[in-house]
Structure 1
Amino acid sequence: MPRFLIAYVRFVERVNYLFGRLAMFLLFALMGVLLWGAIARAGWHPQVWTDEMAQFIVMGYFMIGGAYAMQMGSAVRMDLLYSRWSDTTKAAVDAITIFALIFYLVVLLWGGIDSTAYALEYGERRRGLWRPYMAPIKIVMCVGITLMILQCTAFLIRDIAKLRGREI
């Protein structure tokens, strides 16, 4: 494999590893927000922002951590036949099926960018009492989808290298 492809794979996996490890700390933020909401409900009046903020944090956790989970092999896979195949057969099937995932993610990113542009242009807010701006969470969504696309291309390069007899 060309050196720039090897460097690309290593760079993408380093970036996704870093983002994934940082996303893990969002669980502490989530616990803090939910704890504050529970204390506020019990002690005085409920805080209107805690439920929506918890939803935003969970969405950010899943979107940013998705590429990391994929990189670590934590993604769910139908293992009925896959576990019985040889490494080269697995690499060949993965190299073919990854295109469906990349297509899906590109369409998702396209819609996400369009939705983010709308949110930024018109100052879109979520309905409800708190009415937070939607642009920040949509930007996080687009970043997460981009990281997934990068990880998928890195997997594709790894699978092609494996099929050629050269592990990365």
Structure 2
Amino acid sequence: MSKVQYLTQEGYDKLEAELKDLKSRGRREIAADIAEARAKGDLSENAEYDAAKEAQGHLEDRITKLEDALAHARVLDTKDLDLSKVRVLTTVTILNKNVGKEMKYTLVSANEADFAAGKISIDSPIGKALLGREIGETVEVEVPAGKLELEVKNIEI
């Protein structure tokens, strides 16, 4: 059984749109690729057919993952969030004490994570370490680059 995925309405809609696209356009394109490869003759030595079947497997895997994520999704309204602690969908300003730099991240589910947009997964090392923390708390977190010491400076929506 999958765990609950907390999403914004925007994140839910994005996943739903991707699923709809993959089920319609994606499947149609893969079927056309397979038919075209099949028409080229002997399937036992047909690299195009093998590639198309592999692509079909990846597509169906992604569809299954999206269906599972949406089935276990809970859409949260940011107006209802308690800002006394770092929670999913809150934006937290942290001070990296190692380098003296402030950073701002929004904690989201893995499906909505986008580091370039400042959205980190609650399943990431930093996300896990920050969950449940209050303003003023300092936490140490182990990341691939080493150990970070982070202080929670602000929590907002």
Q: Give the TM-score, by structure 2 length.
A: 0.35
Q: Which structure features the higher share of strand residues?
A: 2
Q: Which structure features the higher share of helix residues?
A: 1
Q: Give the TM-score, by structure 1 length.
A: 0.33
Bigger RCO (CA 8 Å, 6+ sep) = 1
